[in-house]
Structure formats: C-alpha cells, structure tokens
Amino acid sequence: MHSYWMHFDLIDLRKDGVYIQNNQNLKDVSSLEKMYMYEDEFGEECDYRIENNTKLDAEDLCDTGYPRFFMDLKVKGNMKDCGCQGDEIIHLSLPNYKNCTKLFRGLNYENEIMINNLDALSNLEVIKGGINIQDSGVHNLSFLENLTSLKVNNLIVGQKLILNLVGNVILERLAFPHLPELKNMDGKGVKLANIKFNHPSLCLTIEEYCFFLENNVSFIHLDTKLCKYTKNETSTMNICRFQSMKELEDNCNLVIGDIIMKSGDEENFQKLKDLVYLFGSLVIENTTIENMEPLDKLRYILHLNGSNPIVQIVGNQKLKRAYLPSVQNIVVNGNRTAIFQDNHPEFFKNEEGSCSLFEGVDSDESKLRLRLDYIGGDCGEEVVIVYRSSSSKLSVLIVFSFVIVLHFVSVHCNN
C-alpha cells in the first residue's frame, strides 16, 4: 500500500474518489499526504473516505500534506481518527461529540428543536465546511465557546456557505463568545453567508457587523437588525451618529447614518479623516472640494437605506476625481447605485472609459465585493437628481435584507 501511493503527486478523480475501507491489517497511509485531488467544475470535492481500518492510526493525517486543504474528509471507525463528522449531528448523537475539537463536513444541525445537549459541542476549535443550522431550536451560538477557526473551500460558482442560518424561529442573537477566524482555503474564492427567516428580532452588534466586513464576507441574505449599543461596549472605536457635518464629532471611526455634505460644509470635511466604517451612504453635493483625501482611510461600507444610492457625488465643479483608495468591502441591501454628475468637465474615468471609485479590482472575488452600478452624466447619460437632506433622527433598529446576485460562472474589519 505504502509504495503504491508514493507514485502519485496529483490525482484528478472527478467521477469517483478515494476509498480506503475495511482493511484489517492496514497501519500506514502517510503516502496520502503527497496526493492532491482537484475539485470538479462546480467546486465540489471528490469523495475521500478512510473508514473501518481497525489497526490504522489516522489521527494526524488530516493536518499534514495535501489532506489539510480538504473540508469533506470522512475518517471514521479506524483505530484513531482525525476529527469528527459534522454531517451526522442529531440531538441523540450530541453526547458523542463531547471530546471533539475538530469537525469535517461542516457543522450541520437541521430540523432539530431540542437543544439541551448543544454544550457537547463546546470543545470545538475548528470547523471545516462551514456552519449550517436550519429549522432548529437554537437561540444563539454561545455553545461554540472555544471555536477559533471556521473554514470553507469555495469557488464563487460553488456557493459553499461559511455561515447559513435559516428558519431558526427563536434565534435572536449570534452571540459567538469569540469571533472565529474565517478562511476560504481557495485563495480566489469568496466567503458567502446567508441569514434569513429567523426570529424577527435577530440583531447583530456593531462588532459583529464589523467582523463580517473585515473578513470580506458577502451575503446572499442578511435579514437582521442592529443591536442597541452603548459607547462603553465599543470603547475601541469612536462611534458617531450623523446629523449634519457641522454637528459631527471630530475623529469618528464609525459613522451610523448617511453622510451628507453640501455647500458650506467644506471646512468640516476634515472631520472624516479618521473614518474607517460607514454604516450608511455617501452624498457630496454642490461643494468646492477638489479631492476626497479626507476619506482615504475609509475601508468598509454597510449601506443601510436600500432606496437611496450608495454614493451620490453631484455638482462639485472643482472635483476632477472621486477616489476611495482603501475600501475593501461593500455590503448593501440591494441598491448598488453610484451617481456622478455635473462635476468638473474633466472628471476622471478609468482606462476602459468608465467611472470607478476604486483601483486594482482585478479578481472576480474583489469585483463581487466592490461592484457598483455607476450612472449619471459624468459616466454616461444624465439622470434626474434627487437631492438629499440631512436627518436628525435615525432609527436604532434597522432591518437589513441583503441580496447578492452572482453573475460569475467560474473562478480560477480590525482597529
């Protein structure tokens, strides 16, 4: 057995897989460390099963060589196994997971109302394959108190979700005791999450939203609210609510609300020089600014009002270029419109002759995160402008319903 596998470095087993089962004398499969299997055209891993080999010590196999890249290994019933199987969890089997620190094939818990044994999963440190909890009695994720890493292997076309919470009618908080590392083992892939049809009061904290933004997560749906907060709970950031540029505090790191800057606000533009997170849209109208340098630190945008454009830069006669050099992730609730109109006659366009707020967006994954629909006279045909006004009253609880439409066929947030 050992000498046979040593001849293989890369194997393409798209129709079948690797099956090493029921070998009563097998003791060594270390040569599997040198074997790599490609996914199929949909990003699905080949079947990889090492089962019921009673003398085989496979405890270290899954963390060495090529096997460490796979999420769907099934190593079970051997003398020693590596990790536990997350696709076999039901209420009655939960006690069997008390000593598990690693799951393969994800954490899958569906159609299970009973939750009194979920603390059996409290020793989990690594989940390979994502979290999928649907139609359950789970009310938060606090039982994952030692989780440090959550991994998937996902091409854009594959849509393997790193987090899928659907139809859990009493789920009101995420409440991860420690926010885990989120990792896509495919360097060109996307981290996708989906949260919908849970309790209508389900809310995420500012820290949780920032965590998803910072980890470049995109959402198919995100039906949640913003939890109430106090500044003491978020002491690492200066969080401000936008009322007007004049009333805005200096040195805001996170602004909740639409930033609206109009003629006469130019002297207050520098107040945004420390802005990193914007939970709202950006409006700059009829000013005399010549550049957008005070926004150079802006990295993450969460658009709270789906009826308004995410960016509206209109009537700034001296502005030749609108550029946000540091933005890494944009999450919106459906509207990705950016309007540029009646700015400087030589308003900047990229090499393709199109408007763009960003540079270096060259991968399908980054295009998905940062895509905007650019319209307006500076980018093409003129549009009717609805001028915006500041609002002094903002709702504390805002419902998000994010829908991501994936157009790609294939793919080769800390202060």
| 282, part of any domain | yes
Q: Please say if the pLDDT value at position 404 is more than 60.
A: no
Shared domain for 180 and 259, answered yes or no, is: no
Q: For residue 412, is it within any domain?
A: no
- With respect to residue 109, please indicate whether it lies within any of the assigned structural domains: yes
CATH number for the domain that contains residue 295: 3.80.20
Same domain as 126, residue 237: no
Q: How far is CA 304 from CA 175, 294, 397, in A?
A: 22, 22, 11
pLDDT band at 335 (very low <50, low <70, confident <90, very high): confident
Is residue 164 scored above 90 in pLDDT?
yes
Q: What is the pLDDT of residues 339-360, one digit of tens each?
A: 999 999 988 876 677 888 998 7
What is the residue-averaged pLDDT of the chain? Answer: 85
Q: Is residue 157 in some structural domain?
A: yes
For residue 178, what are the contacts with CB-CB under 8 A and spacing of at least 6?
Answer: 145, 146, 147, 148
Of 39, 50, 41, 43, give the one whose Cα is nearest residue 5. 50
Measuring CA to CA, which residue among 296, 371, 348, 305 is closest to residue 327?
296
Percentage of residues in the chain having pLDDT higher than 70: 86
Regarding whether 266 and 158 lie in a shared domain, the answer is: no
Residue type for 79, please? M
CATH assignment of the domain containing 192: 3.80.20.20
Q: What is the pLDDT of residue 41?
A: 66
- The sign of the torsion formed by the CA atoms of 38, 407, 335, 274 equals positive
User: CB count, 10 Å around CB of 415?
Assistant: 12
pLDDT tens-digit readout, 169-213: 999 999 999 999 999 887 778 899 999 999 999 999 999 999 999
Shared domain check, 56 and 167: no
Beta-carbon count within 10 A of 369 CB = 22
Residue type for 381, please? E
Q: For residue 71, what are the domain limits?
A: 2-76
- Quick one: pLDDT band at residue 230, thresholds 50, 70, 90? low
Which among 54, 76, 98 is the end of a domain?
76
Same domain, yes or no: 241 and 352: yes
pLDDT tens-digit readout, 91-126:
999 999 999 999 999 999 999 998 889 999 999 999
Question: Of 197, 226, 255, which closes a domain?
Answer: 226
128 occurs within a structural domain: yes
- Comparison of pLDDT for 29 and 406, the residue scoring more: 29
More confident: 387 or 410: 387
Q: What angle do CA 193, 400, 174 make, to 5 degrees?
A: 55
pLDDT (tens digit, 9 = 90+) per residue, 270-322? 999 999 999 999 999 999 999 999 999 999 999 867 788 999 999 999 999 99
Range of weakest confidence among 4-8, 74-78, 254-258: 4-8
Q: Same structural domain for residues 346 and 282?
A: yes
**273 in any annotated domain:** yes
Q: Give tens-digit pLDDT for 47-102.
A: 888 888 999 998 888 888 888 778 888 888 899 888 899 999 999 999 999 999 99
What is the spatial distance between Cα 415 and Cα 353, in angstroms, rounded to a whole number?
36
Judge if 132 and 174 occupy the same domain. Answer: yes
Same domain, 48 and 149: no
The last residue of one of the domains, among 76, 100, 129, is 76
Q: Span 390-406, mean pLDDT?
A: 40
Domain count for the chain: 3
Mean of pLDDT values over 17-29: 88
Burial of 274-299, coded b for 16+ CB within 10 Å and e otherwise, reads: bbbbbbbbbbbbebebeebebbebbb
The answer to whether residue 322 sits within a structural domain is yes
Residue 389 lies in a domain: no
Q: What is the pLDDT of residue 148?
A: 96
In terms of domains, do 196 and 240 share one?
no
120 and 32 in one domain?
no
Q: Is the pTM of this model over 0.85?
A: no
User: What percent of the chain clears pLDDT 90, i.e. is strictly above it?
Assistant: 55
Claim to verify: residue 250 and residue 330 sit in the same structural domain: yes
Say if residue 181 is in the same domain as residue 219.
yes
pLDDT for position 234: 54
